[in-house]
Structure 1
């Protein structure tokens, strides 16, 4: 939704719109079974910024610009995913100052995973996708979900969860086949 469309939005409509629109889309991307990759070229501001941080990985072109501009128009930016990604202090800085940062700065603070030339962006994103697709799907799906699940666990619970996941993956014929193939190399 563009800012021009938000001007006449009532508070009760805002809550409904965000919880039945933006939040659902961003949550589906965040919780998608397999890794998601944002290929960012140009501006990723406000909603575009939130979309990019809903993905597991972000590859940016040298021309990418990132920013949370919501405070400048008396709104609240997406907070939870960002602080988990880059830390609380940096997230507060970006959200409260509304500064735009370039791809190199985004890489330096851990917001993006890689910076490439504009003409290499899609190739790099696709190559990363192919890398994930070449790995055992069950392991990719379960391990990705584990990263999401352990965020809110205490250390002891998280370690136990990881051990149970390992046992689950260990109890598959695919694991045995892949390990035997690895040994033969």
Structure 2
């Protein structure tokens, strides 16, 4: 895969996507959003890829926001389409990906950058990272799912404060409120993400995909998450991974999941 704004690497079942626009602090423009969609879609279809890590190039920014110059003169209709299409091809797409996605936040994650990180299944950050949704300081609101995912992660009151003040919080503050899972030094960030990814690799990719679907269901309007869990749980009994996992347990050996 060759991209203008992304660097893709793969090693032992772990793929890494690095957003590579350092002069723009890795800001999301239309081209980068489209490339990210294509990269995630390709990695999702690659049976050798079991976990995906996404990060930013350099040591200053994960993604410092969206490229404001692209939409500063948009009409109402154009703004709505921008948000709808962005959510469809990238942010919702990542959230519902069957392959686990870890955001390794290596610096500023602001606006669309934080929304990208929140769309991932969970987040780790370096101790120099700063996070926030500053959109109201520009006369607009978060449009890539920020008003929905932030309350899910940190609670309504904290989300309201962060959105209304347009302020930034440190990595440690983000961990305290549940926005991220771990804080380490910049040097330890990717090794930590890879360590967690390696733990994920030991388990059934089929079961993990089902778990992602079941957890996400609890946050969808009109969907009964318990019913989704029951169905997904039952479906696991018909998989080769279930046979291998239970057989390995009973025989007191480590499982070798076929991913089927």
SS, match of residue 187 in structure 2: helix
Query: Which residue does the alignment assign to 2:178?
Result: 110
1:8 aligned onto 2:73: yes
Query: Which residue does the alignment assign to 1:121?
Result: 189
**After the TM superposition, which residues 17-166 of structure 1 pair with which residues of structure 2 at under 5 Å, given as runs?**
17-77=82-142, 78-152=146-220, 157-166=224-233
SS, match of residue 79 in structure 1: helix
Q: TM-score, normalised by structure 1?
A: 0.91
Q: Structure 1 unaligned segments of length 5 or more: list them.
A: none
Against the structure 1 CA distance between its residues 14 and 179, is the aligned structure 2 distance closer, same or farther, given a 3 Å change threshold? same
Against the structure 1 CA distance between its residues 26 and 159, is the aligned structure 2 distance closer, same or farther, given a 3 Å change threshold? closer
Aligned-pair RMSD on alpha carbons?
1.9
Task: Flag the structure with higher strand content.
Answer: 2
The Cα shift of 1:124 comes to: 1.0
Against the structure 1 CA distance between its residues 18 and 159, is the aligned structure 2 distance closer, same or farther, given a 3 Å change threshold? closer
Q: Distance in 2 between matches of 1:29 and 1:5?
A: 23
Against the structure 1 CA distance between its residues 172 and 104, is the aligned structure 2 distance closer, same or farther, given a 3 Å change threshold? same
The Cα shift of 1:3 comes to: 2.2
Query: Which residue does the alignment assign to 2:63?
Result: none
Matched length: 184
Q: Structure 2 unaligned segments of length 5 or more: list them.
A: 1-65, 253-260
Query: 2:111–2:134: 8 Å Cα contact kept in structure 1?
Result: yes
Runs of 4+ in 1 over 4 A off after TM superposition: none
> Which deviations, in whole Å up to 9, do the C-alpha atoms of 1:53-81 show, x marking residues without a partner?
01111000000000010011111122011
Task: Flag the structure with higher helix content.
Answer: 1
Choose between structure 1 and 2 for higher RCO, CA contacts under 8 A separated by at least 6 residues. 1
Q: TM-score, normalised by structure 2?
A: 0.66
